[in-house]
Structure 1
Amino acid sequence: MRKRVYSKTHLFLFLTVIAVLIWSAIKPASYLTWVLEVSPAVVGLIIVIATYHRFRLTTLSYVIIAILAIIMFIGGHYVYSKVPLFNWMKETFHFQRNHYDRFGHLLKGLFAIVLREILLRKTPLTKGGWLFTIIISMSLAIAALYEIIEWLVGAAAKQVKAVKDFLGTQGDRWDTQWDMLFCLIGSILALLVFSKLHDKSLKKLR
């Protein structure tokens, strides 16, 4: 039987994410909001753990997944519209809203690198314009799906405060469009900035 080997770096990332998850579950602003916010990240982590030996990703992809999970756990603990650091920025720079939500959607664009890895390793696609276009399209589709889920949850429980916190529009009727735009910008930047580093990481898998 082949011995299962775990990367120390991957184990460190896993333990860090679990530690933040446990912290986020301790006296969050609202347990219902917490469940709504962290559930996608927890499901994603379960998938990553279940497929670790069958389809091990690059360390870069695991770092990105860890960052995105932590972003969601922090948002779930405080509620996105009330994250302390961004409240301080709001008051100091006289912003009209807490921008943690915008920041989170921008960083979600990093997931484009994970999508890039899956497509390069599991499909006949090669580097070039089509790969870039398909990744951006997939990133936007995921962003749109998330916003649709938020809309459905909001429509099902309009009067529940925790659900309003989950939506986090902060009175902006264009919040959904802004979220998708920031995810688009983040995806483009991620591909432009990290593709070469990602290529080096992919070579190490061979």
Structure 2
Amino acid sequence: MKNVKFSHFFLFIIIIIFLLWSVIQANDYFTWMLEVSPAVIGLLVLLFTYTRFRLTTLSYLIITILVVLMFIGGHYTYADVPLFSWLKDEFHLQRNNYDRFGHFAKGSFIIVIRELLLRNTCIKPSKWMICITLSIILAISAIYEIIEWLVAKIVGRSAKSFLATQGDVWDSQWDMSLTFIGAILSLLLLSKLHNHIMNKELK
């Protein structure tokens, strides 16, 4: 533990707190397992590789935010997150848009992809970097939608809360589009900061 940065340890504690909270009286434990397990697997990978390949604090912060959003969605189910249910009622929306917000936020994962490419390949910050990272984040988003579809096919109606389509036949397209938009905004807003943090932390 002596080589663990305090900021990283603090983010890890936040994740553990939200994980424990999410499992206590979760709305649907089967849905909770489906929503939370990808995040838990990813976190285990990060823990086992922490000393060998440490990401920047910015990347860990983004991962923390995304994981917490997944834990919240797992606790309530994405279609029943209270704040967004209130927004639905207050503004007379057709659906609870927490899942849309979550997919938009997942676009920020492009910064983690960017870091992995910059540190492990010969690719430099350029237009090609933008194209490659956007292609990867879109591919990940599409794969996730395919996995959701496969789970629904395998387990049937019990996966309804996991899919969170709320009756929208274009839900998968919306999810991928919002991830794409979130990724573009993340590159525009965070790339320079990301470069600065990498230069500072990885010397």
TM-score normalised over the length of structure 2: 0.98
The SS at the match of 2:157 is coil
Q: Match of 2:28, as an amino acid?
A: S
Q: 1:159, CA displacement in angstroms?
A: 2.5
Counterpart CA distance in 2 for 1:44 and 1:32 is 19
Match of 1:202 among 176, 180, 198: 198
The SS at the match of 2:52 is coil
Partner of 2:175: 179
* 1:29-108 correspondence runs (5 A): 29-108=27-106
Q: Match of 1:143, as an amino acid?
A: S
Counterpart CA distance in 2 for 1:196 and 1:83 is 34
The SS at the match of 1:75 is helix
Counterpart CA distance in 2 for 1:50 and 1:191 is 28
- 1:10-48 deviations in whole A, cap 9, x for unaligned? 000000000000000001001100000001110110111
Matched, 1:168 2:167: no
- 1:60-104 deviations in whole A, cap 9, x for unaligned? 000000000000000000000000000000000111000000000
Counterpart CA distance in 2 for 1:134 and 1:187 is 12
- 1:129-178 deviations in whole A, cap 9, x for unaligned? 10000000000000000000000011112222xx1000000000000000
Counterpart CA distance in 2 for 1:201 and 1:146 is 29
Q: Is the 8 A contact 1:4 1:53 kept in 2?
A: no
Counterpart CA distance in 2 for 1:146 and 1:135 is 17
Q: What are structure 1's unaligned runs of at least 5 residues? A: none
The SS at the match of 2:156 is coil
Q: Match of 2:68, as an amino acid?
A: I
Q: What are structure 2's unaligned runs of at least 5 residues? A: none
Alpha-carbon RMSD across the aligned residues, in angstroms, is 0.9
Counterpart CA distance in 1 for 2:57 and 2:160 is 36
Counterpart CA distance in 2 for 1:11 and 1:73 is 19
Q: 1:109, CA displacement in angstroms?
A: 0.4
Q: 1:4, CA displacement in angstroms?
A: 4.9
Number of equivalences: 202
